[in-house]
Structure 1
Amino acid sequence: MDLISLTLGRVMPRHRTLREWVEIYLPLLEARQITPKTLGNRHAHVRRILAALGDRRIGTIRPHEINALIVQVGKAHPVAAKRTLIEIRAMLDEAVSNGWIQTNAAKAVRLPRVPVQRRRLSLQEWKAIYEHAKAHRPPWVHRLFALALVTGQRRSDLVKMRFEDVWAHGDGRDYLHIIQAKTGARLAIPMDLRMESVGLSVQEVVEACRGYAKLGDGYLLRKTTGKPPCPESMSWRFEQSREEALGVETGEHRPPSLHECRSLAAREYRKQGINTQDLLGHSKQAMTELYHDDRGLDAREGKWRVVALPSLPL
């Protein structure tokens, strides 16, 4: 901390360091209704900002300095660069609101473009991966792939699903209940929801999770020990099965990951007229539309988009 920060900073906050402001900003951030995972991610962005600009007087930080940080981060981690800029914008917005500075220098910095790096998973690919895992991988693996597809949920939610999460509502239907780890969204998925393209319902997939391994604590997905797999192991098993079933890819885009089962679920259920925004737990339809986007998959497979005519009255 320099002499100006120690002297003028006492009466003029703009002369205090960014690090001093963060001591006030973090409690404001932590007081909001943010899930632990999101809060942890935001703390990581704050640490990245402090490492580069923490000792700078907050009122002297200029757009080009912020831009230099974003460019540096973006060389290795484009998504992290975008989230870091969003965080420093929010951080300085709060500083403006609290009278520390008059303008937000980060607003003059453009958000970096994040190229689409991972291609979508096709239905035929999923079927090949599923059948390979069923024949060659431990029994929980193909059940994981089926559960990921028919529910459309993230791996963090798949791994904590239990049999006791299934119960009936007043309408007499049984539902699988999920509180999403990332968003806190509370979902009730009908057990009779069926994905026609693979011939599987949520009920059938959940029932297939009974009896194949020790019950453990009642988790749907269990290893032979009865304990659930870790999320990293789930992703690795998908990659392993994908490469063995389809071969190793060497294209400009990364091959699809386990998370792409979520987009495939959205696209397949949309064809059936299912409300996929509710299924995925998104608060905004715009986010759901990103999952509906096949990123050119149909075109690469030579498929045509058929324009349907309205049915004529008899």
Structure 2
Amino acid sequence: MAVLVTGGAGYIGSHTVAELITAGEEVVIVDNLYQGHKDAVLGGKLYVGDIRDKDFLDTVFKENTIDAVVHFAANSLVGESMKAPAKYYHNNVYGTLCLLEKMNEYGVSKIVFSSTAATYGEPENVPILESDRTFPTNTYGETKLAMEKMMKWFDIAHNVKYVSLRYFNACGAHESGKIGEDHNPETHLIPLILEVPLGKRPFISVYGDDYPTEDGTCIRDYLHVTDLADAHLKAVNYLRNGGESNVFNLGSGTGYSVSAVIEAARKATGHPIPVKVEGRRAGDPAVLIASSQKAKDVLGWTPKFDNLEYIIGTAWKWHEAHPNGYAK
């Protein structure tokens, strides 16, 4: 029995594939390589294709005995989603519909979904709880919420059980140094900071230093990508053990300010990393932190890598060795 990982050649997907393989799982990977990379897949059987192609999905399901699905395949840039909503609805929502239809057709009844804390929008509470209102403020978050709701109705109609994992910022790289973060364009804070010691930019921009936080910069949740991968594996086993459909936040519980992340990067890299303070960006809340107590209680998940300097150190090891990402 195999675990199918959609988007398994992407950043979090590839780390989850690595964790599944380490756990002794048979892994099948589907990725259209739009943002993924063949070199990020450390094992398993890779099918290059799009989940919106139902004939392609037929091939995958016919050639493998699939027990559960871990679903990462989606577009995920907030800014782009506001300019191209059709692209996000077609790839994220319609793609998920095609996947769920084929799962139901082939009798696969377990799916773990890579969601986002962007489903909450402006937080009602800090830290954010799973029971808080969901009111996305961008198309990306709206499509992820639509995907969650679709899974709920497939559960009601067809008994397809799901776990939705909502989290903010994945960071770091695999301890082996073989796989890491390579996006184009890059929008995530830590790899952008590391472009300074790599000589790709003269400074890192900080958008606002007058927020109501201890140092005036925004506070966000950061989790090592391997800890996120571990949560997906635990969610698969939760469903295998008869767990009901559920939603879990994955968070640090405390969060780190932008200035704290930059200071940790200075220590990890030994580089001064100059800063340029810019104006605030519209729609940036001061603090975004998710409570993961429910995931700890129900899934038995606890982050192992909670030292920010160590986390950034793993990212730096990857970026130093791969200054151009996976490009040769």
Shorter-chain-normalised TM-score: which range? under 0.3
Structure that is richer in helix per residue: 1
Could you state the TM-score of these two structures normalised by the residue count of structure 2?
A: 0.23
Structure that is richer in strand per residue: 2
Could you state the TM-score of these two structures normalised by the residue count of structure 1?
A: 0.24
Which structure has more RCO (C-alpha within 8 Å, separation ≥ 6)?
2
Larger radius of gyration: 1
